[in-house]
Each structure stands twice: as C-alpha cells, then as structure tokens.
Amino acid sequence: MSKHSAVAVCLPGIEKICEAELLALGIKKTHAFKGGVNFTCSARQLYAINVWLRTATRVLVRVARFDAYNWDEMTSGLDMVDWDAYLTKRQAVRLRVSSSSSRLYHTDGIAERVAKHLNVKQANEGDLAGVETEHQLLVVRVSHNQFTVSVDTSGEALHRRGWRQAIAKAPLRETVAAAMLISSGWQADTPLFDPFCGSGTIAIEAARTARGIAPGADRNFAFQNWPTFAPGTWASVKAEIGQTATDQPLGIVIMGSDRDAGAIQAAQANAERAGVASDVTFVRQSVSDAKSSSFADSATGTTPAAGALVTNPPYGIRIQGGDMRNLYSRLGQVARSEFPGWTLTMLGTDAKTIGHTGVRLAEQFATRAGAHSVSCVSGAISTETPPA
C-alpha cells in the first residue's frame, strides 16, 4: 500500500486555500472540486497532512469505486477492498451514506447491508460523544449507480484542534479562522488584532501559527487504529512537529478584545490549553476603545506601520435585534484613525452592511458559518474619506 488516493474535505469556498496548503506540504498533483481536493500521497504524507492541514475538515482515503445496480453487485464491489488494512476485528464503524439518481437509494438499507457484509457493528451517532477516533468512519456515496467508498483517516473533525473547550456565542471554526488568516496575507512577524475575539479562535490560531505549532499536534487520529498503522513512520512525523515549534518569545503583539467578560474568560482559558497564553493578550473593551498604542514597541514606543485586523464581527443574524450599520461604521472609523497602513480582513453576510466600514474590501472567499452564508473580505486600511 505505497500510495493512497485521498481527498481533503473542506468547507465549500475554501478549496483553493486547502489545495495551496497541500502543495506546500509536498503533494505534487491536486485537483480541487466543490467541497474538497483530490490528491495522491504516501502513508507518511497521509499522517503529516492530517497533522498540518489548517483548513481541511477531514481526510478520506478512497478504497473502492464501482457500479452497482443491485445488492449483489454492491457486495461484489465491497469484496474488492482489503478491509483488513483499515478495520480491526470487532471494531465498531460509523457509516455515512448518501445516494442520488441511483437504483439503490435507501441510505439506511445500504448502511445496514455494508455493515452486515463486513461483519462489523454499526455505531449509533448518539453513542459517539468524545469517542469518534474509536469508531472507524466509512463514507459511501452513490451517484448515478456508481459507488465511491472511502475510509476516514482523521477521526474527529480536523477543526477540533484539542484546545477549545470554553466557547462564547457564535463560535468560529478553527478552519475558517485559518482560512481568514491565510487570505489576509498576515505575516507571523507582524502584529495582529481581533476586536471581536469571542472565544479567541483567530488570535489563538495566529499565535500557534507564529510559533510553528502544528494544528493537529495535540490530538489523535483514526489512522492510528488501523492494522497497517506504522508506529515508526508516525514517530518520524511527531519528531518533525517538535522541530518546527519554537519556545522563543514571538516578539510581536497578538491581541483580542471583546466587550463580553465571559468571552474574555473563555478566550484566556482556551489560550492556556493551546499553549500560547503568554503570546496573546485578551482585553475586555468595545471596538471604540481600540488604540494603536497597544501595539507600540516597548523599547521605542513607536507604533508598527503594518499589521492585520482579522475579525468575525457580529452580523444581524447572529445577534437578536439592533442595526449593525452603526457597529460596522464604528469599526471602519477606528480602523482608519488608529490602524492606517494595516489590513482589515473580516467575515460578513452582505456587501451593503460590510460597506459601512468605509474600507475598500475585496472578497477572498465565500463559505458557510453555521447555517449561514458568509463572505471573507480583505483590504488595505487608509485614512481616505470613505466613498459616499
């Protein structure tokens, strides 16, 4: 099993960002499609990709593709897979099945027959709290009578880095925060500020990136339970994780602020678990109180000429009542008066409301946050009078 045919699953809209990450990790050939990126990799690369990808939701290995118009043909297709490479004896599995435009369309029936054929126990979703890595996920997709069978390599979704336990209202996924940071063009040697930090996801993700800490450094993965798991290869990947991380002070200011005291407490607790409590400052304040002097060099007192505001501000659908125009206008006023020369990167739900910032912002990607469509926009902050 020298090579794996794999797919990095990601939120629709950030496929190109995920693809660029894979290329940077040494994957030679990739193909992005809606909701993921196809690629081929070795076992070592598969391990490392799970550890290092910041924007993927999970990584699947495709183990079979065949046409089936009836149950016997499905069984024959499943027989082509070397299941002993992925499943231990008596291991419970989770089956995620979808079917469209196919003769075999009953997803529960497909799942039951797959589990019976493999002689494995099918775990109920309600029994999985906190034990996703102990139950092997199999993904079966049927489209126009073609079956694609995949084995999950990740276990828990990759946005679960292992450090976020305390959350504030409307928490932002770590994978989206990472995509925002990448899209912002932020460099790890320049300051970063999130004036609506919530539980601290953006600031913590930035601090861990600046420290060279792998996003998956603190968690386990499904591939570690495979009969073909190679401990020596995994030890090599783990050693690399330790070599890239630095214990030296960052030398830059990374700050998050929020007017909600509970959010600040959650952010501080998360930063502690993430190992970056000394690298991130969280302050309880409103956006109106943000000052560039907070980022001044301690020795010279000079304010940095460049930095990044990266934030997920409230939007109307997130907070009951109130008009967001004034809040966005105030964000823009503070950005232009206190942070000229920096960049502003933010999420928003509609261009008109985002336009009240008065900062020229271009869309970087569009995706979903929870049940809502959002756009990530970014642009340089100047002191120019905003367009009418």
pLDDT tens-digit series, residues 115-167: 999 988 887 655 544 444 478 999 999 999 999 999 999 999 999 998 887 66
pLDDT at 128: 45
pLDDT at 68: 97
Indicate if the pLDDT at residue 90 is higher than 70. Answer: yes
Q: If pLDDT is split at 50, 70 and 90, which confidence band does 296 have?
A: confident
DSSP-assigned beta bridge partners for residue 95: 138
Mean of the per-residue pLDDT values for the chain?
91
Whole-angstrom distance, CA of residue 271 vs CA of residue 151: 33
pLDDT at 334: 96
Q: Name the token pair of 63.
A: 């183990």
pLDDT at 243: 87
Other Cβ atoms within 10 Å of 82 Cβ, number: 11
Q: If pLDDT is split at 50, 70 and 90, which confidence band does 207 have?
A: very high
Angstrom CA distances, 277 to 163, 174, 191, 265, 330, stand at 12, 17, 16, 12, 29
Helices (DSSP H) in 79-190: which residue ranges? 107-118, 174-184
Quick one: fold of 4-152?
VC0802-like (3.30.2130)
Indicate if the pLDDT at residue 57 is higher than 80. Answer: yes
Q: If pLDDT is split at 50, 70 and 90, which confidence band does 169 have?
A: low
Span(s) in the chain for CATH 3.40.50.150: 174-213+246-380
Mean pLDDT of 189-206: 96
CB 295 within 8 A of CB 303: yes
pLDDT at 301: 76
pLDDT at 28: 93
| Architecture of the CATH domain 174-213+246-380 | 3-Layer(aba) Sandwich (3.40)
Whole-angstrom distance, CA of residue 302 vs CA of residue 337: 16
Mean pLDDT of 316-345: 83
pLDDT at 360: 95
Q: Name the token pair of 335.
A: 């950005």
> By mean pLDDT, which of 14-18, 22-26, 117-121, 128-132 is the weakest?
128-132
What DSSP assignment string belongs to 294-363? GGS-TTT-PPPS--EEEE----TTTSSSS-THHHHHHHHHHHHHH-TTSEEEEEES-HHHHHTT-S--EE
CA angle 20, 23, 25 (to 5 degrees): 110
Query: Rounded to 5 degrees, what are φ and ψ at 43?
Result: -60, -45
DSSP-assigned beta bridge partners for residue 66: 147
pLDDT at 130: 47
Span(s) in the chain for CATH 3.30.2130.30: 4-152
